[in-house]
Amino acid sequence: TRLLLATRNAGKLAELQRLLESAVPGVEVVGLRDVQEYPEAPETGATFADNALLKAREAVRYTGLPAVADDSGLAVDALNGMPGVLSARWSGRHGDDDGNTALLLGQLADVPDERRGAAFVCAAALVTPDGTERVLERQWRGHVVREKRGTNGFGYDPVFVPEGLEVTSAELEPAQKDARSHRGQAFAALVPVLAEVLTP
Ligand code: ITT
Ligand code: NA
């Protein structure tokens, strides 16, 4: 069985490949570059779970393969949960990690250290051609620092210090991030579901 990782985000794709490669015996993980191109699903959902399902359904519709999708973002306490589902396009241009991070730091400039809490959130969705749908969500709490640090990861990683650590998630080794992150937890929880749904 082939399983499609339905993401156009290179940072996510690298993490999902690590998390799912050889996770389920008999299941071969493929990326969008391995299948026919199709238009990006509009992310019109109000929640991470809704958007993850939209993306996975669209992938199945166009490719006929079972697909997983990830919708994720950073929910900042002092901004009432924003940017949340808007994280990728917060500064205006979709996927502008530098612009998004700069905007966030600007918005939090006057917020004191004790009120800079935030959570990375990841919804992991699985949809199969026969209409089976599963979605589950995990969070990774921490706080937003005042200056970027580190070059690993992507997106808001350089400004996010996970709870219990002193370094940003961009200063963690990939395996260290995977072991703790919202995405690592969500897809680890999805693995037994994949095994159940995809293997005969
Ligand atoms: P796909 O929909 O194609 O998967 P996308 O980049 O549009 O790609 P999202 O709408 O889910 O995906 O946006 C997620 C954004 O949240 C992403 O652009 C990052 O800015 C941020 N984000 C999510 N997970 C992150 C992580 O582990 N580290 C840093 N930033 C993250
Ligand atoms: Na989104």
Determine if ligand 1 sits within 6 Å of the CB of residue 181: yes
C-alpha to C-alpha distances, 29 to 119, 162, 171, 188, nearest whole angstrom: 28, 29, 28, 15
Please give the pLDDT value at position 4: 98
Between the CA of 200 and the centroid of ligand 1 the distance, in Å, is: 32
Ligand 1 atom with the shortest distance to the CA of 90: 20
Domain ranges of the chain: 2-198
Chunked into runs of 10 residues, the chain (200 residues) has average pLDDT values of: 97 97 94 94 94 98 98 98 97 95 98 98 98 98 98 98 98 98 98 94
8: Cβ below 6 Å to ligand 1?
yes
The answer to whether the beta carbons of residues 70 and 124 sit under 8 Å apart is yes
What do you get for the CA distance between the two ends of the chain, in Å?
10
Q: What's the pLDDT score for residue 41?
A: 87
Contact residues for 60 (Cβ-Cβ < 8 A; gap 6+):
66, 67, 127, 128, 129
- Range 2-198: architecture per CATH: Alpha-Beta Complex (3.90)
Specify the pLDDT at position 200: 79
Q: For the whole model, what pTM was predicted? A: 0.97
Which two tokens mark 108? 């939090």
Q: Give the pair of three-digit tokens for residue 55.
A: 């993306």
CA distance 12 to 70: 8
d(CA 143, CA 166): 10
Q: Which residues are known catalytic residues? A: 71
